[in-house]
Structure 1
Amino acid sequence: MGQALEKFQGKEWRRKQMRKIINNAFDRVKNDTGRANLTFEDLYISVLLVYNEINKRLPGPHFDPPTKEQVRAMMQDYDLNLDGELDREEFAKFIQQLTADTVIAVSQGLIITLAVAPVVALMTKKTTEGIPGVGKVVQRLPNSVYASLVTLAVVTFQAEHGIE
């Protein structure tokens, strides 16, 4: 439940999640190869790891990674010292640019959820009157509390099931 509440913090939460994902992918490939920087093959493996983590950690639909050709073309833009490899900071900028659309899609899905869920909750509150035991409790709750609880439940459900 704490993770669901963190998602309400927005940009900072997403930035921290992306930085964790980026560092984990860079370190994992770097440790496997023993090199300080990532070659193209290392970079592509890292991209696959990053997209795997995005699909696990961030709510929303499954996001497909880019093709090798797309990664190769982008690598040239981010290899600032032209050595054919990316260091940690070049890699971080590369991944942030590569995943910008993905993070926006996750954000939009979360915004839609946070806007739609309370409205639906309030619209359906009246229908709970006929449910024995539950109806009376729900009717006694203030609208703002009920809408918040339903929204929190929806966000938690989406995060656990990877639904946008």
Structure 2
Amino acid sequence: MGLMMSFMPFMGKGLPSAQMLNFAMGTVYSRFMEKDITNFEDFHIAILDIFNIFNESLPGKHYDAPPRKEIEACFAEWKAAEESAKKKVFIEFMTTKVKPSKLDNTTMITGLVTPPAAMAAKRAGESVPQLRIIKSIPDVAFVPSATVLALVSVKLSRRLFVGHVASTS
């Protein structure tokens, strides 16, 4: 069975065919063109809306929107293009500038370390008289809740720290 599958090109690698990519980009572009785009702000909102739709509907990887300067450059090129070439400009922009978002090491380590630490903290807290109520919380609710809370706090602290560093530079 494995030998047969190895003869099939791109099987299991998740690479879309050119026809599938053209169909997907055509659908995205038609949704993009449904909006009334008269200035850069409308264009920017439409691009960000596309990324929101991608990230909400597709499981797994999420995609980061390109920086504002790149979107401004694409808008200038898109605005100057003829009506027939606008779709080509848009598709080229989406295929070259869209990048999957990457997890930073802090988030990854927090996600790996928090569940065992939450279990250890729960076991230690059960013996403390003031925290006897912790016994009534099931492990299947406590561990994921603690993990999500830790991941949210890491994301918020990273965003605050990065925002603080960017504003002081």
* Band of TM-score, shorter chain: 0.3 to 0.5
TM-score between the two structures when normalised by the length of structure 2: 0.40
> Structure with the greater relative contact order (CA < 8 A, sep ≥ 6): 1 or 2?
1
Larger radius of gyration: 2
| TM-score (norm: length of structure 1) | 0.41
